[in-house]
Amino acid sequence: MFNIKGMVIASEPMWRHTTFAAGGPADLFAVPADGKDLRSLLAAARREEKDVFILGGGSNILVADSGIRGLVVDTRLFNEYRVESAGDKGSGTGRETGSGKPVLVIGAGLPVSDAAWMSGSSGLGGLDFLFGMPGTVGGALWMNARCYDEEISEKILWIEAMDRSGRISRITMNKKEWGYKHSPFQTRNGGELTILRAAFSMSPGEPSALKTGMREKRDNRESKGHYKAPCAGSAFKNNRAFGAPSGVLIEKCGLKGLRIGGASVAPWHANIIINEGSAKAADIRRLLDEVAGKVAESTGFHMEPEVLPVGDW
């Protein structure tokens, strides 16, 4: 069915590819080596009428225990990293902004924290706020990742993406299409675009100051218990209308430490749901429902999960 340079495996357990460390097998799991491979995979999936799921770092998804039917495409090999100087007009990448700022072009599969460190430690500021955040550049773009009062969409010049027929298009930044945890990729082309690479407008900075700032952010995450147990970061989105962060509502409802099977509300952070080691994806999903239900019952606020359920639920 597939003739590619990269890899295709049958029945690959998805718990290996998600930060929740839960979830059953993908029928087919492919790691394309390049755009040509990706195009072949998408064409084969179309011919065979198989669903396709595009995987970044698996840090914002909850895969069903019964797994994912169809094809999962792991983007990890789309990991290019290229700095274009302010005077470089050759490839037409970003100079159209006329800002004179350095442009960083990065592949969607590069871990976003690596991109932050590589650029920051070489004196390019702009993505440093993302240091320490799990996931890939593609996943961060799809989710419009945000932290420390900054959003990835603020730095984008353009994004290249492939549609399911293999056609690549360049999408230029239009602020109106981006919002809190929202990117155009969630809806455009029926949510079926695969992000390949993106260009970011960077600001020259002092490498040692950028590195210090990044280490502080990572230490801050560590102190909040982000890396203590398998999780997917914030379980629920925040909403200004609630008048308080979702974590505060959950805590006020006395739900810290609440447990279902092997899943629990982290005792150290009410908006993080953790896998204590043996959680089924179903335990995590039931706990998400239980927490949202209890908060709605006592406050009237309906929290929206940030974690995306994926696969055969």
Ligand X SMILES: Cc1cc2nc3c(=O)[nH]c(=O)nc-3n(C[C@H](O)[C@H](O)[C@H](O)COP(=O)(O)OP(=O)(O)OC[C@H]3O[C@@H](n4cnc5c(N)ncnc54)[C@H](O)[C@@H]3O)c2cc1C
Q: β-strand 52-55 against 81-84: which pairing, if any?
A: unpaired
Give yes or no: 234 in active site.
Answer: yes
Residue with tokens 């390949």: 196
Residue 155 engages ligand X in binding (rule: CB under 6 A): no
Site string for ligand X, 114-133 (x = CB under 6 A): -------------------x
| 186 vs 299, beta carbon nearer ligand X | 186
188 vs 199: CA distance, rounded Å: 19
Tokens at 111, concatenated: 């871990």
With contacts defined by CB under 6 A, name the span among 23-31, 57-65, 96-104, 244-252 that binds ligand X. Answer: 57-65
Residue 60 engages ligand X in binding (rule: CB under 6 A): yes
In the range 62-91, which residues lie near ligand X by CB under 6 A? 75
Among 7, 9, 118, 147, binds ligand X (CB under 6 A): 147
Q: Looking at this protein, which amino acid is placed at residue 163?
A: D
- Specify whether the CB–CB gap between 195 and 167 falls below 8 A: no
| 96 vs 304, beta carbon nearer ligand X | 304
Q: CB of residue 24 vs ligand X: minimum separation in angstroms?
A: 16
Tokens at 247, concatenated: 């974590």
Number of residues that bind ligand X (CB under 6 A): 32
- Specify whether the CB–CB gap between 79 and 110 falls below 8 A: yes
With contacts defined by CB under 6 A, name the span among 98-106, 114-122, 144-152, 253-261 that binds ligand X. Answer: 144-152
Q: CB of residue 181 vs ligand X: minimum separation in angstroms?
A: 7
Q: CB of residue 67 vs ligand X: minimum separation in angstroms?
A: 15
Give yes or no: 306 in active site.
Answer: yes
Taking the CB of residue 212, how many other CB atoms lie within 10 A of it? 11
Among 6, 24, 58, 67, binds ligand X (CB under 6 A): 58
Residue 146 engages ligand X in binding (rule: CB under 6 A): yes
Among 135, 184, 247, 311, binds ligand X (CB under 6 A): 135
Q: CB of residue 105 vs ligand X: minimum separation in angstroms?
A: 15
Backbone angles phi, psi at 287, to 5 degrees: -65, -40
Residue 108 engages ligand X in binding (rule: CB under 6 A): yes
Residue 110 engages ligand X in binding (rule: CB under 6 A): no
Q: CB of residue 212 vs ligand X: minimum separation in angstroms?
A: 19
Among 30, 145, 281, 284, binds ligand X (CB under 6 A): 145
Q: Catalytic pick from 40, 113, 153, 234?
A: 234
Q: CB of residue 89 vs ligand X: minimum separation in angstroms?
A: 27
What residues line the site for ligand X (CB under 6 A)?
19, 53-61, 75, 108, 133-136, 138-140, 142-143, 145-147, 185, 194-195, 226, 231-233, 308
Question: Active-site positions?
Answer: 234, 306
